[in-house]
Amino acid sequence: MLIDFNIPGVSFFGAPLPFDSQLENRFSHLLPPSMANVAQVRKQEFIAGRYCAIQAAKLVGLELAKVPTAKTREPVWPEGIVGSITHSKLLAISCVSLSQHWSSIGIDAEELIDPALKADIESLVASPVELKYLRSLDSPIGLTVLFSGKEALYKALFPLVRTFIDFKEVKLTNLDADMKLFELELISSNESLAGHVGRYQGSFKQFGETIVTVVSIPRPMREGSHVDS
């Protein structure tokens, strides 16, 4: 299914999970031999994610035969392409763009956080300052957007920095539930992340019980390309 986040140059494609069995058979060649013995549900989400990536790539005019997986688990896109894949229990989605438009993109889908797990998730992903901010917003989706948004940012940053980033190295600085926008700040002192600290813009959508967040990282401005005031 077509999905639109209104991000210039980025195409999205989604598929409901459990994945359609006919499509699963048709695209089963996308499953690498190393995954022959994984659980059926994992095979399904993997094939559905790859199917979505191939469809999203078609929307930007590219025919992808496959999307391999790196040793560090991220999808490997052909030169000149950036993209990301996510799957929740109910949905697989991929987004793809030409790298002339964006340095990198990340997408993440999460089911709304179960109230029984709220305290555990809060202590894993948020600081006391962020929790105070979320309480001030009083939004039923706030914690899920924070959690998912940080994972989307991780997926966007990882191909650029190739290092692990903890949830506490990123801070939620704004969440606008009406405009469906958020802002995260990378505040890490990890040397591998120097040059990437700063603020990142994201957007989200809700599909039933699922929140989908996207973070797109702009290409650096070329020297001399700024507009004089």
Smallest Cα–Cα separation from 141: which of 170, 173, 182?
182
Residue with Cβ nearer ligand COA (55 or 86): 86
Distance from C-alpha of 68 to C-alpha of 71, rounded to nearest angstrom: 10
Q: Which stretch binds ligand COA (CB under 6 A): 2-10, 72-80, 126-134, 214-222?
A: 72-80
- Fill in the amino acid letter for 76: V
Residue with Cβ nearer ligand COA (131 or 221): 131
165 binds ligand COA (CB under 6 A): yes
Q: Which of 170, 175, 211, 217 binds ligand COA (CB under 6 A)?
A: 170
User: Residues 121-160: x/- map of binding to ligand COA (CB under 6 A)?
Assistant: -----------------------------xx-xxx--x--
Q: What are phi and psi of 32, to 5 degrees?
A: -70, 155
Distance from C-alpha of 18 to C-alpha of 39, rounded to nearest angstrom: 13
Mode of pairing for the β-strands spanning 170-176 and 210-218 = unpaired
Tell me the site size for ligand COA, rule CB under 6 A. Answer: 22
73 binds ligand COA (CB under 6 A): yes
Contacts of 51 (CB under 8 A, 6+ apart): 15, 19, 23, 27, 30, 92
Q: Which of 19, 55, 75, 215 binds ligand COA (CB under 6 A)?
A: 75
Long-range (24+ apart) CB contacts under 8 A made by 65-68 are 66/30, 67/30, 68/32
Residue with Cβ nearer ligand COA (7 or 156): 156
**Footprint of ligand COA (CB under 6 A):** 45-46, 49, 69, 72-75, 85-87, 108-109, 150-151, 153-155, 158, 165, 167, 170
